[in-house]
Amino acid sequence: VKDGVNDQDAVNVSQLNREISQATAATTWALKTESGDEAVAVSSQTVEVRHGQNTRVSAISKDDKGNYSYEIDVTGIPVEYTDSQGNPLVNIGGRFYTQTEDAATGKLTMTPAEPARVRISSEQPLVLTNVAAGNVSPVSTDAVNGSQLASAARIAGGDNVVWKDGKAALAPDTFSELTTAGGGKTTVNGGVHKTPDNVADAVNMLNREGTKYFKAASSGQAAKAEGRDSIAVGQGAVSRGQNSIAMGNGAEVTRQAAAGSVAVGSHARAGRANTGTYALNGQAVAGRTGSDTAVVSFGQPGQERQLQSVAPGVLSANSTDAVNGSQLHATNRQVAGNTQAINTLGNKFSQLSYRVEELNRDIRGVGASAAAMSGIPQAYLPGKSLMGLGVGGYGGESAIAIGVSRISDNGKMIMKLNAGQNTRGNFSVGAGVGWQW
């Protein structure tokens, strides 16, 4: 029989076998896993995707190219594995995968991943029970159970720590006086013990309520302790120096301040110490001020403050104590008394000096008068008389004099009389008689 061509023609066996072979090839399709394993399904064979342990096939989809995709959900597992980023993982056959769905095609892609964390998949917190005691060591990563933690609390707190509602607290819960294991007692105001559940609550309670002897209320800028081993207390307080303390709103210890400097009071500022040479009457005073001298400041220029209630300091050659106002007042009174005595003595010296100077001028006037009187000539012939004038000067003073002299007729007796006036206003006279033979 010839091969049929038209729809109504008869076909031969060879044509029929060829058609059967082609039909069989068309129903053959391949199966492939993420690990690379492949299988072939042919003819009327059925490929069944079944539910597994803790897995369920929830959806089958087919794209426009004839590819089938299966959506597999994890069921019945109270914990969930996640990767390091917190993405949930699916455990299939002991291997973990992340699921990625193509938004356009709905295709689900499984990517191998390593589990990093385990979390409870329940919406409500659950209690994990029947936990074996974990290894307790500096390098242990085992989980510990409640009995291990209770033992640690008993060791740390002794009988002072009890467990109530799963939380550690001081015993008893309500009291007016707390007795510690060491025997000391502390009175608690109000008689109600407040137990913080964690460290954060304890810190917040301290910040909010303070303690019996310390309270703080501020909503401004935080304090900053920038220097090594420094302390800053108060809104905006900054301690930048080593071992420094800034206490008060806006108080500051600068980086230029020596170690151990202190600024106390609102906006007080402690910087570099004022240096210089200090001496009294050529003698150095006790103490030394240098670049390493610490500073205690109670204010700043324009905002100075009084330091009150200062006890009297020791007054000695080597004392470095601060002195108070009463000591300085007593010193001022003593200095004022000494000043008055010195002024009185000075007046006396001034008067004496004036009198000495006047006497000196008078003496110089006398010298001038003597010179003037001695310079008057004298009669030298018997029976004759002589009148003469004389002038003189000494030490800035001057004088004028007049004199009369006579010799007896026989030439044996001589008489003389002088008078003078100097510039000091002093009048001088002199007379003399002589006998010659």
- pLDDT, tens digit, 9 for 90 and up, residues 18-52: 766 665 555 555 666 555 666 665 555 566 666 66
Contact status, residue 31 vs residue 69, Cβ threshold 8 Å: no
Burial 251-281 (b: 16+ CB within 10 A, else e): bbbbeebbebbbbbbbbbbbbebeeeeeeee
Residue 166's pLDDT is what? 46
Residue 57's pLDDT is what? 64
d(CA 200, CA 384): 138
Structure tokens at 310: 């200062």
Contact status, residue 388 vs residue 403, Cβ threshold 8 Å: yes
Residue 419's pLDDT is what? 96
Residue 156's pLDDT is what? 55
Q: Over the Cα atoms of the chain, what is R_g? A: 62
Angle at alpha carbon of residue 342, lines to 339 and 346, rounded to 5°: 135
d(CA 103, CA 105): 6
Residue 292's pLDDT is what? 76
Say how far residue 386 (Cα) sits from the centre of its chain. Answer: 108
Contact status, residue 399 vs residue 393, Cβ threshold 8 Å: yes
d(CA 389, CA 401): 6
Contact status, residue 432 vs residue 415, Cβ threshold 8 Å: yes
- pLDDT, tens digit, 9 for 90 and up, residues 416-435: 999 999 999 999 999 999 99
> Beta 245-247 vs 231-233: how paired, if at all?
parallel
d(CA 328, CA 333): 9
Tell me whether domains 218-275+290-307 and 358-435 share a fold: no
SS3 277: coil
pTM confidence score: 0.34
Q: How many CA atoms lie within 13 A of 230 on its CB side?
A: 29
How far CA 124 is from CA of 11, 82, 88, 121, 138, in Å, comes to: 72, 18, 18, 9, 33
pLDDT averages per 10-residue partition of the chain, 437 residues:
75 72 57 60 60 62 68 63 84 82 81 82 72 84 82 58 49 48 48 57 65 75 92 92 92 90 90 67 58 80 82 86 89 90 91 92 94 93 94 94 95 94 94 93
Angle at alpha carbon of residue 268, lines to 254 and 204, rounded to 5°: 90
Contact status, residue 399 vs residue 372, Cβ threshold 8 Å: yes
What secondary structure does DSSP assign to 5-46, as a single string?
Answer: -STTS---HHHHHHHHHHHHHHT-EEEE-TTS-EEEE-TT--
Of 146, 137, 139, whose CA–CA distance to 167 is shortest? 146
Give the domain ranges of the chain.
13-120, 146-179+186-209, 218-275+290-307, 358-435
> Beta 296-297 vs 262-264: how paired, if at all?
parallel
Structure tokens at 328: 């300085």
d(CA 231, CA 238): 8
SS3 115: coil
Superfamily of 358-435 according to CATH: GSPII I/J protein-like (3.30.1300.30)
d(CA 176, CA 17): 104
Structure tokens at 9: 């023609």
Of 79, 73, 76, whose CA–CA distance to 97 is shortest? 73
Superfamily of 218-275+290-307 according to CATH: Serralysin-like metalloprotease, C-terminal (2.150.10.10)
Handedness of CA 17, 23, 26, 30 (dihedral sign): negative
d(CA 128, CA 148): 15
Residue 49's pLDDT is what? 63
